[in-house]
Amino acid sequence: MSDLRIVLKESVKNDDISRLAWQQNWELDDISPRTEKTPLTKIWTTPDEQTGIHYIEDFYINARYILIRGKNQEEIAEKIRASLATYSIYELQEKLEKVTEKKECIGVILRLSAASTQDYEPKIFHDLKTMMYDSDADVRKAAIFSTTYLGWQEFREPLEELKNNDPDASVQKFAAVNLASLAKNYWHKQTKTD
């Protein structure tokens, strides 16, 4: 079972999450402060100790999300969605189709990948792959980086193509680095356990 992530809207405050945790009787297990290399993370556990709820302020993608790990993920997710303003996959896909400003496009790409699961989704793959061929190098880099939140083997071919053929050398290098990261952190694990 893969982890489930819920991306929070900008209107949600840190106190809102803590209040929800208190209302649900989740036990605070850990707080890891933000450092230069790691995001602020708060971890709660459900009363039955079967589910971990991780609040993450991810400065790499300038987004905040909740990662749910363990049992009863959908049940916990519904409680979160009912209490906090969150982005749905559909909403992010719609935004991606309509966005015209580069900075907003990059933000939507990154939020879409964070909101997706590690279970392959053809429509999301298509959306992100399309962004890998955008005319703007920064948008292409955002789409490349987004693959590290998903780890799908299907990204290997477009990343290889960008590594070898992108007109911008920095995009080629970025694709190569992300390919190596995916191979190390996702793909070798999949072949060992499959």
The DSSP 8-state label assigned to residue 86 in this structure reads: B
Same domain flag for 144 and 174:
yes
Average pLDDT, the chain: 94
**With bands split at pLDDT 50, 70 and 90, how would you rate the model's confidence at 1?**
low
Q: What is the percent of the chain where pLDDT is above 70?
A: 96
Same domain flag for 49 and 144:
no
> In angstroms, rounded to a whole number, what is the distance separating the alpha carbons of residues 120 and 128?
12
CATH number of the structural domain spanning residue 63: 3.30.310
> In angstroms, rounded to a whole number, what is the distance separating the alpha carbons of residues 88 and 96?
12
**Domains of the chain: total:** 2
Same domain flag for 140 and 184:
yes
Same domain flag for 69 and 102:
no
Same domain flag for 116 and 30:
no
- pLDDT at res. 52: 97
> In angstroms, rounded to a whole number, what is the distance separating the alpha carbons of residues 158 and 35?
33
Same domain flag for 95 and 78:
no
Same domain flag for 120 and 139:
yes
Look up residue 178 and give its amino acid: N
pLDDT in tens, 21-47: 999 999 999 999 999 999 999 999 999
Q: For residue 99, which of 111, 114, 117, 116 has the smallest C-alpha distance? A: 111
| Residue carrying structure tokens 């009787």 | 25
Q: Could you tell me the residue range of the domain that residue 171 belongs to?
A: 89-193
Same domain flag for 70 and 95:
no
Look up residue 111 and give its amino acid: R
Same domain flag for 142 and 183:
yes
Same domain flag for 78 and 41:
yes
Residue 31 dihedral angles phi and psi, to the nearest 5°: -130, 120
Domain boundary among 51, 83, 115: 83
CATH number of the structural domain spanning residue 98: 1.25.10.10
Same domain flag for 77 and 119:
no
Count other C-beta atoms under 10 Å from residue 67's C-beta. 18
| Residue carrying structure tokens 């929800």 | 20
User: What would the mean pLDDT of 165-172 be, rounded to a whole number?
Assistant: 98
CB proximity list for 86: less than 8 A, separation 6 or greater: 6, 7, 8, 9, 12, 80
pLDDT in tens, 86-129: 999 999 999 999 999 999 999 999 999 999 988 899 999 999 99
Q: What is the percent of the chain where pLDDT is above 90?
A: 91
User: Strand, coil or helix: what is 119?
Assistant: coil
Q: Is the pLDDT of residue 186 over 90?
A: no
- What is the model's pTM? 0.89
Domain boundary among 48, 83, 118: 83
Same domain flag for 135 and 169:
yes
